[in-house]
Amino acid sequence: MHVPKNLQVLLTLATVALLVNYVETMVVPALPTIQSDFSTTSSLVAWVTSAYLIVGSAASPLFGKLGDLYGKKRLYLISLGFYIISVALAGFSTNIYFLIFARALQGLGFSVFPLGLAIITDTFPKERVATAQGVLSGTIGIGTALGLVVGAYIDQDLGWQYAFHIAALLGILLLVVSSKTLESDVSRPKEALDIVGSALLMTGISLLLVYTTEGPYLGWFSALELILLALGAVLTIGFFVYESRARSPLIQLGLLKIRNVFVSNIVGIVSSLMLLMMFFAVIYYTEIPPPFGLGLDVISAGLTLAPATVVMLVVGPIVGRLTGRIGPKPVLLFGSLVCALGFYLFLLNRSTSSVLVEDVIVTGIGMISIIVPIVNMVAVSLPEDSRAVGLGMNTMLRNLGGAIGPVVATTIMTSYQTAYILTTHGELFYAGSFPLAIGFNTIFKVDILISVITFALSAFSKNYTTRSLKLNSAYA
């Protein structure tokens, strides 16, 4: 049976996204084992995840710009190639520093997401772009579920090194498939690359992400942390000042002022913040012992989140189709309200893992109903020659919000923490300090507030449908 070319492209991009998200999530349950294997500290092993996030966030706009200049397929393959090489290196790490280096190099592969979304926008007809983006976004959730569950099993039975080895082999296969399936697009090498602007943005965002990552370990107001914050803020502001005067800017600042692009970027930050707050709180709550939490093991805790990611795969294409038919604005408003409902359910009942699964599913439906419209709004609002870099910046901003989420959740839980004293054979035994119920309630209340803010921001978006886009194109 002949499969249409655009569906082959979507299947390839979705499979790559699934693999990358699987690898990035399977690292999480393996962190305690990695810490033990390398006899290192928790603050240092945290960089196994942070290094990837920081480099990936900073590099996404640059790779997007390079894709706009020299062809999205070419940069997609380069990005995927970096990822495969670094995944293979990670599996042979002999010390924690080499593993962190390999993970940082993997960050360059993060650009497959914005580049993939740009390729979909170029490949599919306008009336099917949102649906295809919904499929890709939903597939990301499946990769997360596989990472939490399958990754935990591989780590437990074979060792974390084999998780990287298997992923590298699969990555090589997907690189070959991608090179044959994706179609080459026109390059525009006449425009000079904005090296200064790229350096300012990448360095500034990297320092801000390092600040948020190291805050819990170094102290938010320590001298080093304040230096990182100040330098990051100055360089990031300097990027916008420089771009307003550059001859060939990384991205025309006027494009970021387009209403739907602006709304998408702001909503991207705050929605990622509330998603990661919820994600972090649920994982923590499921693993700490009763009466503070559910006392589940790592695999069982992962299974509480897995059903929501499966639902996201099913709901994603539906959300995409609705976005095309009725426009992104009503879908965004709906997603914000559903998220608020999901967080409210966490307040009402989270006494068992089955009830927790229901709460997470509702919240997951709300989140996918936010992610798909904001991605589509950026993709269709920008001209083709700035599409990939615009999606790269949106990805970067969403990651910035995602990096802040666990920090906020941790700060709240620490503020409502108490010692747990057990009695063993008539003697008192200190079992650790754990957050009280009011701490988790505060997190979910903050998430409800952010959902309301997301709703208000979404109300400022400009609605459109695929029919109106086609009519505008016809008369342009």
- Decide which of 332 and 110 is more confident: 332
Burial of 66 (0-12, 13-18, 19+ CB in 10 A): buried
228-282 pLDDT, tens digit per residue, is 989 999 998 998 898 888 887 877 888 888 999 999 999 999 998 898 888 888 8
CB-based contacts of 410, cutoff 8 Å, min separation 6: 216, 280
Which of 190-199, 367-376, 382-391 comes out lowest in average pLDDT? 190-199
Structural domains of the chain ordered from first start: 5-193+248-475 (1.20.1250.20)
Report the amino acid identity of residue 272. Answer: S
Burial of 261 (0-12, 13-18, 19+ CB in 10 A): buried
- What tokens does 473 get? 């194109």
86-142 pLDDT, tens digit per residue, is 999 999 998 999 999 999 899 888 888 889 888 988 888 877 888 888 888 777 667
pLDDT at 423 over 70: no
pLDDT at 14 over 80: yes
267, 396 in Cβ contact below 8 A? no
Report how far residue 407's alpha carbon sits from residue 346's, in angstroms, rounded to the nearest whole number: 20
Helix/strand/coil for 459: coil
Report how far residue 111's alpha carbon sits from residue 60's, in angstroms, rounded to the nearest whole number: 5
* Residue-level pLDDT at 432: 66
